[in-house]
């Protein structure tokens, strides 16, 4: 097939690729095109719909932002007030059979007294350890022990993070933490514990937005519609990239020659599909990725339930589960984000089963709602295997164990999808790998690998970060501008970034 030629090729129509494309369209400094293996935009921020009409995102996504440019783009794509719902985060940790307000480490006042004592004792020991330490912690586990102590480590931080990352905290670095993990104040914790108080909201997502319709995936399909449609090419899977020749080849037999490549493919996938490199460079890139880039898989399970939302659930948004009585680490009350995430009034559905099969066989006659829904996430790795055949059944049992569901809850829809990879693990070797791979790609072959798995940095892996990684990659390629999100995560996360605007 005839080779197309462009100045800039963007691979991947998730947030990062769309960010790159939006910036290319705005700057108008040469020809460009966007390609994606799927049939629509969204990538890892897409939304699936069950045959019964329940929406489930492909993971826990909400909108909060550090960037004015990101806000401008979303406001352009979904400009109406009724396009969005705005929420105050209501989040808890299920621990010791009680709901502990998030963040856990600031709210031990609701735990049993013995556990409060263990946590405060550990925090005092941690304070003494910090005073004696002259070197920065090397692992996430060392950071936990130095900032929180043994009580919080064993009650929450170690078991919860193993459930999230599917590797122990001793195998993770701590540079990624930033605004994602709250370091507790001993003074505040003791004060709240003695006065039986809880701490208020913390973190950048204390308030957040969610689209009224079509889930998170609807955002990115709307953003894609603001771009020139003749520059978007779907159903084009990359099979190899000739790095030296600057040509990408696709499964359909076509190819595209480029000057600059912004790719959001997984960095490990990219280096294993590069050609036009000398053997030594190819071996170095592939072996480094294999040895030093770590990821986990993610199972997303969705459950559609008939009935009014129970009072025990109320206005909760998402919930954390460190203990072993359920396989999931996080549950989202997905119907609380938007009423359009469930079938609408008047939709009649049969009951597939009760939550506990021992409750009996339900009537299969289609009946009215209302309906509500749960979305649950389970991690998997070689250190934390998951039985794919029973993960749905095990998840529902975990919902009963944690009182998300009752034995007689009527399940009318189920969803299960596994994503590999799911999370880019901030492993001890990650930064060494990125420092070895990314400069070679960029400086020798004009390839900018960016995005959640393209640049493998979880600390800048939210939707706003991912989008801006694409924007800044284009500015780097075409204007020589520095990429602050990629290179200085703490800087961009600690401020409001107003340097770029969509219409300026």
pLDDT digits (tens, 9 = 90+) for 214-248: 999 999 999 999 999 999 999 999 999 999 999 99
Kindly report the number of other CB atoms within 10 A of residue 314's CB atom.
10
Strands (E), 444-485: 447-449
pLDDT band of residue 504 (cuts 50, 70, 90) is low
Cα angle 175-178-182, degrees, rounded to a multiple of 5:
120
Specify if 302 maps to a domain: yes
Q: Based on the fold, state whether residues 131 and 74 are members of the same structural domain.
A: no
Contact 500, 71 (CB under 8 A): no
pLDDT band of residue 125 (cuts 50, 70, 90) is very high
Cα angle 480-284-484, degrees, rounded to a multiple of 5:
25
Domain extent for 176? 106-194
Q: Based on the fold, state whether residues 410 and 450 are members of the same structural domain.
A: no
Q: Can you give the pLDDT at residue 495?
A: 82
Residue entry with tokens 């979904």:
78
Q: Based on the fold, state whether residues 362 and 420 are members of the same structural domain.
A: yes
Q: What is the SS3 assignment for 155?
A: helix
Q: What is the pTM of this model?
A: 0.94
Locate 195 and state its tokens: 């006065």
Contact 377, 328 (CB under 8 A): yes
Tell me the C-alpha distance between 147 and 3, whole Å.
Answer: 56
| Segment 386-394 mean pLDDT | 97
Q: Based on the fold, state whether residues 128 and 185 are members of the same structural domain.
A: yes
Please name every residue paired with 411 in a beta bridge, in sequence order, or none if there are none. 305, 353
Q: Can you give the pLDDT at residue 202?
A: 58
- Max Cα-Cα span within the chain: 74
Each residue of 334-357: pLDDT tens digit?
999 999 999 988 899 999 999 999
Specify if 74 maps to a domain: yes
Q: What is the SS3 assignment for 184?
A: coil
Domain boundary among 424, 440, 475: 424
Locate 361 and state its tokens: 């066989």
Burial of 110 (0-12, 13-18, 19+ CB in 10 A): buried
CATH of the domain at 223: 3.50.50.60
Q: Based on the fold, state whether residues 308 and 369 are members of the same structural domain.
A: yes
Specify if 504 maps to a domain: no
Tell me which residue of 169, 430, 456, 139 sits closest to 291, measured CA to CA.
430
Q: How many residues does the chain have?
A: 504
Q: Based on the fold, state whether residues 286 and 183 are members of the same structural domain.
A: no
Q: Can you give the pLDDT at residue 205?
A: 65
Specify if 370 maps to a domain: yes
Q: Based on the fold, state whether residues 337 and 411 are members of the same structural domain.
A: yes
Report how far apart, in Å, the C-alpha atoms of 231 and of each of 18, 33, 128, 223, 252 are: 12, 5, 59, 14, 18
Specify if 449 maps to a domain: yes
Q: Can you give the pLDDT at residue 203?
A: 57
Q: Based on the fold, state whether residues 243 and 347 are members of the same structural domain.
A: no
Q: Based on the fold, state whether residues 305 and 416 are members of the same structural domain.
A: yes
Each residue of 40-96: pLDDT tens digit?
999 999 999 999 999 999 877 888 889 999 999 999 999 999 999 998 888 999 999
Q: Based on the fold, state whether residues 228 and 286 are members of the same structural domain.
A: yes
Q: How many domains does the chain have?
A: 3
pLDDT band of residue 181 (cuts 50, 70, 90) is low
Angle between helices 68-77 and 15-27 (to 10 degrees): 90
Domain boundary among 424, 448, 473: 424
Specify if 201 maps to a domain: no
Q: Can you give the pLDDT at residue 134?
A: 82
Q: How are beta strands 207-211 and 84-88 bridged, if at all? A: antiparallel
User: What is the residue-averaged pLDDT of the chain?
Assistant: 93
Tell me the C-alpha distance between 486 and 82, whole Å.
Answer: 34
Q: Based on the fold, state whether residues 337 and 396 are members of the same structural domain.
A: yes
Contact 372, 342 (CB under 8 A): yes
Whether the per-residue pLDDT at 179 is higher than 60: the answer is no
Q: How far is CA 345 from the centre of its chain?
A: 31
Specify if 501 maps to a domain: no
Whether the per-residue pLDDT at 142 is higher than 80: the answer is yes
Tell me which residue of 375, 467, 381, 388 sits closest to 421, measured CA to CA.
381
Each residue of 452-476: pLDDT tens digit?
999 999 999 899 999 999 999 999 9
Element (H or E) spanning 313, and its range? none
Domain boundary among 364, 399, 424: 424
Q: How far is CA 410 from the centre of its chain?
A: 29
Please name every residue paired with 274 in a beta bridge, in sequence order, or none if there are none. 241
Residues 6+ apart with CB under 8 A from 103: 182, 184, 199, 202, 203
Contact 34, 287 (CB under 8 A): no
Contact 62, 208 (CB under 8 A): yes
Q: Based on the fold, state whether residues 307 and 322 are members of the same structural domain.
A: yes
Specify if 121 maps to a domain: yes
Q: How are beta strands 32-35 and 3-11 bridged, if at all? A: parallel
């Amino acid at each position: 097939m005839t080779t197309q030629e462009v100045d800039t090729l963007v691979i991947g129509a998730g947030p990062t690729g769309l960010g790159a494309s939006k910036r290319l369209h705005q700057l108008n400094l040469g020809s460009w095109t966007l390609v994606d293996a799927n049939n629509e935009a969204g990538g890892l921020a897409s939304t699936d719909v069950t045959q019964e009409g329940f929406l489930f995102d492909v993971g826990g996504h909400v909108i909060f932002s550090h960037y004015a440019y990101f806000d401008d783009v979303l406001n352009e794509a979904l400009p109406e007030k009724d396009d969005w719902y705005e929420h105050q985060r209501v989040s808890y940790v299920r621990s010791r059979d009680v709901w502990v307000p998030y963040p856990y480490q600031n709210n031990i006042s609701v735990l049993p007294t013995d556990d409060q004592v263990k946590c405060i004792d550990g925090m005092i020991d941690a304070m003494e350890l910090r005073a004696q330490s002259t070197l920065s912690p090397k692992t996430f586990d060392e950071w936990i022990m130095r900032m929180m102590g043994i009580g919080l480590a064993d009650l929450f931080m170690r078991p919860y993070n193993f459930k999230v990352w599917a590797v122990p905290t001793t195998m993770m670095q701590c540079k990624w933490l930033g605004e994602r993990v709250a370091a507790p104040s001993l003074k505040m914790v003791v004060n709240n514990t003695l006065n039986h108080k809880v701490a208020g909201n913390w973190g950048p997502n204390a308030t957040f937005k969610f689209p009224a319709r079509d889930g998170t995936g609807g955002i990115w399909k709307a953003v894609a519609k603001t771009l020139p449609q003749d520059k978007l090419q779907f159903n084009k899977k990359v099979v190899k990239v000739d790095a030296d020749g600057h040509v990408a080849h696709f499964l359909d037999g076509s190819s595209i020659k480029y000057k600059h490549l912004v790719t959001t493919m997984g960095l490990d996938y990219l280096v294993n599909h590069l050609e036009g490199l000398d053997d030594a460079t190819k071996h170095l890139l592939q072996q480094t990725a294999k040895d030093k880039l770590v990821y986990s898989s993610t199972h997303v399970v969705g459950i559609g339930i008939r009935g009014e939302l129970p009072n025990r659930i109320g206005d909760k948004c998402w919930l954390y589960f460190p203990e072993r009585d359920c396989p999931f680490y996080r549950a989202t009350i997905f119907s609380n984000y938007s009423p359009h995430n469930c079938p609408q009034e008047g939709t009649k559905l049969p009951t597939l089963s009760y939550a506990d099969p021992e409750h009996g066989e339900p009537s299969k006659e289609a009946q009215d709602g209302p309906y509500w829904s749960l979305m649950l996430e389970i991690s998997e790795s070689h250190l934390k295997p998951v039985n794919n055949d029973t993960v749905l059944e095990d998840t529902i049992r975990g919902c009963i164990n944690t009182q998300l569901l009752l034995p007689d809850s009527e399940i009318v829809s189920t969803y299960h999808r596994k994503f590999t990879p799911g999370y880019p693990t901030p492993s001890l070797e990650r930064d060494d790998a990125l420092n070895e791979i990314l400069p070679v790609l960029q400086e020798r072959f004009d390839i900018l690998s960016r995005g959640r798995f393209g640049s493998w940095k979880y600390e800048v892996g939210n939707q706003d970060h991912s989008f801006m990684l694409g924007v800044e990659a284009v500015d780097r390629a075409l204007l020589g501008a520095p990429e602050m999100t990629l290179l200085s995560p703490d800087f961009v996360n600690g401020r409001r970034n107003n340097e770029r605007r969509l219409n300026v």
